[in-house]
Chains A and B, each alone.
Chain A
């Protein structure tokens, strides 16, 4: 017995020794750092990036499962959305809008060819519009589609769009990635209905889809006959890597040149990559505002003073900086100010002020009873529920911050995590008290956001029902799209946005931004102004 025990303990020692040696070996490996970050070596002139999803079918006229950025590499719009919300000519060289705001005449560029060599002209523009208009219901979210009266070919290079009623955002909506981008004739199926699929992804854009393996990768090659600025790299490989941590590991190994997008990697991973100093990182301008929506239909939130108290009662900057590690920026306006008509909004600034918050709540009749920590009014406690998307860690962390900050005011915040689709559904059904929301971003706003606020069935319309000026506000919202005078339009937008914000039901929290990390040999990476597109024309690699 004694012998075998001793033998056993010897063996245990031996095994522990081996484990120790092995683990130090592994640990030793972690200290070894690469001198220089290098891009993948397999192909010169090829930029490799990762994307969480398969790029899908490259059909410019449908939605799922094709990925917007990939569609924007192949297909182009008539009008392009640029920095500061400027709408620049793209496939259309210029356009004229009739006085009544109903007729749009586009002069098309004459030097544009599709990637198969056929020329881009008014005929093909009309053909694309007509196939899109066959599915009006599917595209009805895009305002101008439902208002199109007719499409006409005036001559080889002139195309005319006639609307049933004036709708000013038409030009801006023509910049979206789908469905109004142009497929070459060879891409149309026999029956001409692209909603069922395209035969070949033929576009006018800077890239041509060269190789595609579903769920694995897609390789785009440069369109040598591109009419615009020729891309600097010859090929772009999009690797499908669904897992964010794996993307980071593949990037660290040098398999990837670039990772970019909204939430493409975790905040921690981004910070960690940034601090190594081995890589380049960049953050875009605001693409949307993260908002907190208060449902004024609920009794406790129907009082403006309560809504204001809640805004005074949390340190927005500290929360945004803390939760997002500085990747998002504290927002002062419900729409980012780099969008059209949003730069000149005059609202009352609300700064962190706990005393003022408490005073407002007292004034509103919500008093703190002795010995309790939740305020009450007529025996009812001040209890509010906040709904957040359980898959989004930022929303969750912000909800928790608000919970603790408002607890200090005597407000009990219950936070409820739900699936994104449930969040949308409950918001639309007005079944919420507080909810996170974010606007659509460029090139959809401000008109899409304002329209959603004004229309029934999206959540906002009901949520702002306690606003004293609600009817007037809804009328102004309804009037905006039909305006033909630039000055009048700007005034309307200013009034609407100021009023929405001052009444305190829509609270700007932070500006959402895109992030990018790339290897040191990648240069001239920029974020396009359009949230959905990425034509990769300027980017280059030095190998």
Chain B
């Protein structure tokens, strides 16, 4: 187990290098000059002198490979550089905005679990019931509606018309409701279907039949055995989506004026704020790797069969 974790952590290094190389390459493939983007954001005319000065300040006048190596060395020391736009350390800007994004991501993931586990489970054990139909409807709806549109609809009905929640901003728990729902709905759609399918599959397994013949109470079979095994694909899905969730907040943050990291990133893209973009990509890559690792560990705890090779204890 220990070597397994160590191996997984070691795998991060090449992935990080690849991620930085890719972002670096893509930024430089874009025809937009960050110095020009800076000046256009500042609403000033770009004379050659200012452009040259800005390029020098950003280090863009150095050869590409030198720029890349320099940025890697700095990143290894946890120095993500200075934001072109705000002239402040990127790490400071990011950590300032991170808590809001985490709050939103956690809120929606909790909501997604709270709704999809009971819904998917009930839909599975009561196939073709009202609940099953409802879950199907919700899933179609959740999977097909674009999140910005859903966001506007929620604001329009629940905030402007019914005055139940604030339109935008952050602060109280009420502020969290609409953005969380917007972010959670596609997840609910996905997990409900995953869990339902998995429950249905497990109901066909011999162990359910054996348990029933042993006279074990139906509730115990379902709750203790079927759910426990059936939930495994959903947890994998959750892990895969944790990274996606954090990046998925970008649109929701813009719609609900949520002062998080995603919004900051979008602005950085428009302004070609290279250090910020790099930091974001690295964090996202790191998050994907770690969330997958954590999910694997959780899986091991829930279903001990995974940590055994060929059914034998290691």
- Indicate if the CB atoms of B163 and A253 lie closer than 8 Å: yes
Please measure, in the bound complex, the distance between the C-alpha atom of A64 and the C-alpha atom of B86, giving whole angstroms: 6
Do B259 and A216 touch (CB < 8 A)? yes
Residue of A nearest to B156 (CB): A249
B137: A residues at CB distance < 8 A: 15, 19
The verdict on B76 contacting chain A, using a C-beta distance below 8 Å, is no
CB neighbours of B41 from chain A (8 A) = 64-65
Binds A, one of B1-9, B126-134, B180-188, B234-242: B126-134
A430 to chain B, nearest CB (A): 15
* Chain A residues closer than 8 Å to B87, beta-carbon distance: 62, 64, 196-197
Of the 9-residue stretches A118-126, A137-145, A319-327, which lies at the interface with chain B?
Answer: A137-145
Interface string of A1-35 (1 = CB under 8 A from B): 00010001001101100010000001001101000
Q: Are A141 and B259 neighbours in the complex by a CB distance under 8 Å? A: no
Residues of A within 8 A of B97 (CB): 215
Which of A238-246, A483-491, A498-506 is near enough to bind chain B?
A238-246
Shortest Cβ distance from residue B138 to the other chain A in the assembled complex, whole angstroms: 11
Asked if residues A12 and B86 are in contact (CB atoms below 8 Å), the reply is: no
Question: In the docked arrangement, what's the CA distance between A243 and B156, Å?
Answer: 14
Cβ–Cβ contact B259 & A240, under 8 A: yes
Known: A63-B42, A243-B257. A8 touches B128 (CB 8 A): yes
In this complex, the member of A64, A197, A246 whose beta carbon has the largest number of chain B beta carbons within 10 angstroms is: A64
* Size of B's binding interface in residues, CB under 8 A: 55
Q: Indicate which residue in A140, A253, A421, A425 contacts B49 across the interface (CB closer than 8 Å).
A: A140
CB neighbours of B37 from chain A (8 A)? 421
Across the interface, B134 reaches (CB within 8 A) one of A15, A30, A217, A246, namely A15
| Interface residue? A154 (CB, 8 A) | no
In residues 11-62 of chain B, which contact A (Cβ within 8 Å)? 31-33, 36-50, 52-53
Encode contact with B along A241-284: 1 for CB under 8 Å, 0 otherwise: 11101100110110100000000000000000000000000000
Tell me the nearest residue of chain B to A213, going by C-beta: B259
A452 at the interface (CB under 8 A from B): yes
Q: In the assembled complex, how far is the CB of residue A429 from the closest CB belonging to chain B, in whole angstroms?
A: 11
Cβ of A204 under 8 Å from chain B: no
The answer for the CA separation of A505 and B30 in the assembled complex, in Å, is: 30
Task: Please give, as numbers and ranges, the residues of chain A lying within 8 Å of B128 by CB-CB distance.
Answer: 4, 8, 11
Give the shortest distance, in Å, between A248 (CB) and chain B (any CB): 10
Whether B96 is near chain A, meaning CB under 8 Å from some CB there, is yes
Contact B160 A252 (CB under 8 A): yes
Residue of A nearest to B45 (CB): A141
Task: Decide: A140 and B257 in contact? CB cutoff 8 A.
Answer: no
User: Are the C-beta atoms of A422 and B169 separated by less than 8 Å?
Assistant: no
Point out the residues of chain B lying under 8 angstroms from A241, CB to CB. Answer: 168, 257
Which one, B45, B264, B272, contacts A448 given CB within 8 A? B45
> How far in angstroms is the closest Cβ of chain B from A171?
19
Q: How far is the CA of A51 from the CA of B264 in the complex (A)?
A: 15
Complex Cα gap A240–B43 (Å): 19
Q: Does B123 contact A (CB under 8 A)?
A: no
Q: Identify which of residues 217-234 in chain A touch chain B, using a CB-to-CB cut-off of 8 Å.
A: 217
CB <8 Å contact, B38 and A29: no
Q: Which chain B residues lie closer than 8 Å to A197 at the CB level? A: 87
Q: What's the Cα separation between A292 and B285 when bound, in Å?
A: 44
A65 to B86, CA, bound (A): 6
Contact mask for chain A residues 405-425; partner B; CB cutoff 8 A; 1 contact, 0 none: 000000000000001111011
Q: Which of A52-70 contact B (CB under 8 A)?
A: 53, 56-57, 62-65, 68
**A239-B257 in contact (CB<8A):** yes
Known: A242-B263, A250-B168, A440-B45. A141 touches B152 (CB 8 A): no
Contact A420 B161 (CB under 8 A): no
| Bitwise interface map of B from 127 to 162 toward A, beta carbon under 8 Å scored 1, else 0 | 011100110010000000000000010011101111
Complex: A425 Cα to B166 Cα, angstroms: 42
Tell me, in angstroms, the Cα distance from A318 to B305 when the chains sit together: 73
Asked whether, in the complex, the Cβ of B36 is within 8 Å of the Cβ of A425, the reply is yes
Provide the bound-state CA to CA distance between A57 and B160, in Å: 32
Which chain B residues border A250 with CB–CB below 8 Å? 167-168
Let me know if B265 is at the binding interface, CB within 8 A.
Answer: no
Do A141 and B47 have beta carbons less than 8 Å apart? Answer: yes
CA gap between A32 and B157 in the complex, in Å: 11
Query: Given the interface contacts A29-B157, A216-B169, A440-B45, does A246 sit within 8 Å of B256 by beta carbon?
Result: yes
Asked if B170 lies at the interface with its beta carbon under 8 angstroms from chain A, I say yes
The smallest C-beta distance from A134 to any residue of chain B, in angstroms, reads 13
Interface residues of A in 182-226 (CB under 8 A from B): 196-197, 213-217
Residue pair B32, A422 in contact (C-beta under 8 Å): yes
For residue A457, CB closer than 8 A to chain B, the reply is yes
B122 at the interface (CB under 8 A from A): no
B255 at the interface (CB under 8 A from A): yes
Given A216-B170, A255-B167, CB of A140 within 8 Å of CB of B50: yes
Identify which of A15, A26, A216, A420 contacts B133 (C-beta below 8 A): A15
A250–B165 Cα gap in the complex (Å)?
11
Which chain A residues border B44 with CB–CB below 8 Å? Answer: 63, 141
Residues of A near B245 (CB, < 8 A) are none
Q: Is B254's beta carbon under 8 Å from chain A?
A: yes
Instruction: Determine whether A173 belongs to the interface, using a CB cutoff of 8 Å to chain B.
Output: no
A462 within 8 A of B: no
**Distance of A440 Cα from B169 Cα, bound (Å):** 33
Cα A137 to Cα B49 with chains together (Å): 6
A217 / chain B contacts, CB cutoff of 8 Å: 169
Q: Which 9 A-B pairs have the closest CB atoms?
A: A63-B42, A215-B259, A29-B161, A141-B45, A250-B167, A421-B32, A137-B53, A253-B160, A241-B257
A240-B259, A243-B254, A421-B36 known; 5 new pairs, CB 8 Å cut-off, are: A11-B129, A15-B137, A215-B97, A216-B169, A239-B168
15 intermolecular pairs with C-beta atoms under 8 Å apart: A11-B133, A63-B42, A64-B86, A196-B87, A216-B169, A240-B259, A243-B257, A245-B152, A246-B256, A249-B152, A249-B155, A255-B167, A419-B32, A422-B31, A440-B45
